[in-house]
Each structure stands twice: as structure tokens, then as C-alpha cells.
Structure 1
């Protein structure tokens, strides 16, 4: 049986949590092979232990993902700027109407509107920057390679299961046991 030493991290629902392979605490993180031959539950803290497993980083995928995120951020910024320009045009149209009515009220509104516009713009930019940093912290490695002792333990476990299945099949077949001796007269 060939088992590759590549495990992908998957998450399950809180209701489906099972005990960790190492510490037996309930865990929602599962390491599974790409061919689904082997899987086990493990705590996220153990995934950071270098003596348990090491992350495999896909450099091409990482750069591609970073480029996509940068493009998405730029698109969001352009959309927000466009919306802001449209809103300013509407505000100017309203201001012109008000200007015709009362010149003194307009001066007060312009100063307050410009200050509030600047605050809103700064808040939007800060929220965009914070969204990018939150994604980076939540994004952890998803592919791991087990340490050789843990990998050997998984191989031994799978071999034991396979041997138990073979033994069960042998026990079911009648050719395994010797036949009863017959007495010839």
C-alpha cells in the first residue's frame, strides 16, 4: 500500500468534532490525504508544531492568490471612488438649489459636508486595509507533510487494518481449516 505523505487540512462543523489524534480533545480540523485513504482529527495548535508536521507552501498558488486579492482590492477602491463622485455630483446639484434659496445656510453646510466626506473617505480606506490584513491572518497553510515518525505510525495503522481484513476473509473460507480425518476400513 502506497500512501503519500501529503495531507490537506479540512474543517468540519462544531457538531461533528472528534477527538484529536495527539491530545484527545475535541477538534474540528481534519488532515486527509488527497486520495481519501487516510484521515485523522488534529488540533490547530498541533499543526504549528514543527515536530508533528511541516506546511508545504505552494509558491505559484500563493503568488497567484496575492495577485487576485490585490486586483479585488483595487476594484473595490475604484468602485468606492466612483460612488463617491456620483454622490458628490448629487450633493452639488442639491447645493445649487439651496444656494438659490439661501446663501448663508450654504456656507455652513459646505464646511460640514467636506469634513464629513473626508471622515467617510478615511473610514472606507481604513476598512479596506483592515479587511486585507484580516484575510492574511485567517489564511493558514492547508497542505502539510507529517514528521517521519507520525507518518510511519499512520502507515502501520493502515497495514494493520488491511491485515485484519485479510485475516477475517481467511477465517470465513473453509479451506483454511483442516478437514476431519476419515477412517477407512
Structure 2
């Protein structure tokens, strides 16, 4: 006999106000394990999800690979931007050196202008340094370890879930039968025979 639902449960969170008793320890919990086809679900404490005797996490290799590729692409973009920024700064420095050479030739024009330009250069360098530090701090966010979301119950717990499902279906059939008018025998209408 095929199982009515697969042994794959997805971990979901519900609102704290909708918390119900955990199926294992009966403490209020807002975590729910639900099958993909939504035929079975039950409340569970997050602590039980770490218990290797209760369930095992199912690792989605494709999702991990996609995440890794996305991280690599982001890192590549970041490095390209840094490289382009360094190249731009390098070109600016070369232009400044050429200007300084021209200034050395034209010392007679005045030393005050040179001092003002040097101050401007220093402020420009500080601003670009501040911008790069702000970019680094803004883009780098601490990565949290993703908890597994899909679990496979151990066989004994899965058998319990199947048994509960069968019992619930049997109770529902019994209620439906009992509500039918010809379920119980009718009262005899003839007097008893002697």
C-alpha cells in the first residue's frame, strides 16, 4: 500500500499568536513541519529539528550550487569595480604627475597656486578613501548560516504520522456512516412471537 504522502517535510514558521503544542513535548511552538502536498502537518519545537534521532535534513544540492554561483558572481562584480576604481585612480595620479612636471617648468607663476592644488589633492584623496571604505562597509554584510528547511523523518516517526492519518480517516468514515439513517437497525414494528 502506497503512503498517502511522502516523507519530506518543509519547516515553516507561523505567528506567535497561532502557536500550538509541539507533537513531541507539548510545549507551545510556532514552528510547523508540512508536506509539500499539504496533506500532513504538525507543530514541532525547533530544538527537535536538530535531534538526529527524530529527523535528518535533506540538502538541496541544486539550491546550494545556485547560491554558490550567485555568491561568486557578486564577488566577481565587486572585484571588477575595485579594479576599475584603482585603474581610474592610477590614471588620475599620472595626470597629476604630468601637471606637476608642467608646474615645475612654470615656477615663476606663483607658489600659492601649487599649495592650493596640493590641498585639493589631499582632500580628494581623503574623499575617495572615505568613499571606498563606505562602499566596503555597505556591501559586506555578515552572512547567517541558513538552516535546512526540508527534513525527512526517521522511519518510526513517519510510521506514527501515517498511522495517525489512517486513524483520522477511519474516524471520519465512521462519523459519516453513523450520520446515515439506515446505519443503525430499526425498531421492530411487529409484536414478538410466542
Common fold: TM-score over 0.5:
yes
**Match of residue 182, structure 1, among 174, 182, 189:** 189
Change (3 A) 1:180 1:15: closer
Residues 103, 18 of structure 1: alpha-carbon distance in 2 compared, 3 angstrom cutoff: farther
1:134 aligns with 2:143: yes
Aligned to 1:36: 38
Separation in 1, partners of 2:76, 2:13: 30
**TM-score normalised over the length of structure 2:** 0.71
- Equivalent in the alignment of 2:74: 72
Q: List per-residue Cα deviations over 1:24-80 (Å, max 9, x = no partner).
A: 333332211011001112222221111111001121231122112322343355457
The aligned runs of 1:53-68 (5 Å cut-off) are 53-68=55-70
Paired with 1:46 and 1:12, the residues of 2 have a C-alpha distance of 17
Provide the secondary structure at the position in 2 that maps to 1:35.
Answer: coil
Q: Matches of residues 155-170 of structure 1 in structure 2 within 5 Å?
A: 155-170=162-177
Q: Go from structure 1 to structure 2 and tell me whether the alpha carbon gap of 1:105 and 1:49 turns closer, same or farther (over 3 Å shift).
A: farther
Unaligned runs of 5+ in 1: none
Q: Which runs of 5+ in 2 are unaligned?
A: 100-109
Q: Which has the larger radius of gyration?
A: 2
Deviation digits for residues 131-183 of structure 1 (CA, Å, limit 9, x no counterpart): 2x514x1x121110011222122112111211110110111112221122232
What's the Cα RMSD here?
3.6
How do 1:13-162 and structure 2 match up within 5 A? Answer: 13-76=15-78, 78=80, 102-115=113-126, 117-118=128-129, 120-122=131-133, 124-125=135-136, 127-128=138-139, 130-131=140-141, 133-135=142-144, 137=145, 139-162=146-169
* Number of corresponding residues: 175
Change (3 A) 1:14 1:117: farther
Segment drifting more, 119-128 vs 51-60? 119-128
CA distance in 1, matches of 2:78, 2:15: 31
Q: Which of the two has greater helix per residue?
A: 1
Task: Tell me: CA distance 1:10–1:79, structure 2 relative to 1, closer, same or farther (3 Å).
Answer: farther
C-alpha separation between the residues in 2 aligned to 1:81 and 1:32? 47
